[in-house]
Amino acid sequence: PAKTEDFVASAIPAGVFAETVTSVQHYTDRLFRFRMTRPESFRFRSGEFAMIGLMVGDKPVYRAYSIASPSWDEELEFFSIKVPDGPLTSHLQQIKPGDTVLMRKKPTGTLVLDALTPGKRLYMFSTGTGIAPFASLIRDPETYEKFDEVILTHTCREVAELKYGFDLVEEIRNHEFLAEVVGNKLRHYATVTREDYPFQGRITDLIRNGKMFSDLGVPHFDPAVDRGMICGSSAMLKETKALLEEAGLIEGANNKPGEFVIERAFVD
């Protein structure tokens, strides 16, 4: 006779990883992060994304998620939005430690160091959960081998939404080996658009009016030394890309490294 385990095993689609949630942290009513076990055979480059899913009824539902943990981490971390009627996130936001999350086997993505030509200063422009691939890259020692200065910008509507980024940078500064590797190369520039805060405004506006450069004490974009990575909504990608192109930076890809890269996988 069939045992319960047989039923559960057969309910999980073949050819995908079924991993166990190890921790869940809710930041606001719109944002949470979770960590889960990492299959031993699963390899990825920091900054890549994977298809993450859950069984909803008898069907798997998947969405593209940036892996927020670095490639050396023994667990996998994800930073997610909660969409009230979202086909996946309305269920994913309910997960608890011990639950099973599905992951397709092949990671991919363009926000990787290999897609950039050598430079001195690396900008990572993010809005909302767009910080996730950079959460991976700023914890990867290779980022600091390749760049002298790493500037992570994160813009959210509200201050509470910045917490994931602040915790992350704090974790790096207190980390036993990362702290030394990172030194003072990492800068975190956090701004909000819908609340009072010392740093206010969309990153695109702060680039246009020069405030980002003066706040950071760096010169305007220079294609000879500056590199960029962009992750956010489609409107944010488009506008930020235009600003980098105006400054003379050329978009790159995995098969043709350039001066900046964009992740289009999450766009609407």
Only segment of 57-65, 82-90, 178-186, 230-238 that touches ligand A2P (CB under 6 A): 230-238
Q: Which is nearer to ligand A2P, 55 or 159 (CB)?
A: 159
Nearest one of 111, 64, 145, 95 to 230, comparing CA atoms: 111
Q: Which is nearer to ligand A2P, 92 or 230 (CB)?
A: 230
Only segment of 20-28, 71-79, 136-144, 232-240 that touches ligand A2P (CB under 6 A): 232-240
Could you tell me how far CA 125 lies from the centroid of its own chain?
10
Q: Terminal CA-to-CA distance of the chain, rounded, Å?
A: 46
Nearest one of 168, 123, 175 to 147, comparing CA atoms: 123
- Show Cβ contacts of residue 63 under 8 Å, excluding neighbours closer than 6 positions: 51, 52, 53, 87, 88, 89
Contacts with ligand A2P in 237-256 (CB under 6 A)? 239
Q: Which is nearer to ligand A2P, 139 or 241 (CB)?
A: 241
6-30 burial, b if ≥16 CB within 10 A, otherwise e?
eeeeeeeeeeebbbebeebeeebeb
Structure tokens at 219: 């010169």
CB of 125 to ligand A2P, least distance (A): 9
Q: Which is nearer to ligand A2P, 37 or 193 (CB)?
A: 193
Count, in order, helices (H) and strands (E) of the chain. Answer: 9, 11
Query: Taking CB under 6 A as the rule, which mask of x and - marks residues 106-145 in contact with ligand A2P?
Result: ---------------------xx-----------------
Contacts with ligand A2P in 12-51 (CB under 6 A)? none
Q: Figure out which of the listed residues 112, 229, 236, 244 binds ligand A2P, where binding follows CB under 6 A.
A: 236
CB of 80 to ligand A2P, least distance (A): 13
Contact 56, 46 (CB under 8 A): no
Query: Taking CB under 6 A as the rule, which mask of x and - marks residues 158-197 in contact with ligand A2P?
Result: -----------------------------------xx---
CB of 208 to ligand A2P, least distance (A): 10
Helix-strand-coil percent breakdown of the chain, rounded to 5?
30, 30, 40
Amino acid identity, position 210: G
Is there binding between residue 231 and ligand A2P (CB under 6 A)?
no
Q: Which is nearer to ligand A2P, 11 or 235 (CB)?
A: 235
Segment holding 182, helix H or strand E: helix 178-182
Q: Figure out which of the listed residues 82, 91, 104, 157 binds ligand A2P, where binding follows CB under 6 A.
A: 157
Site for ligand A2P, rule CB under 6 A: 127-128, 155-157, 193-194, 202-204, 233, 235-236, 239
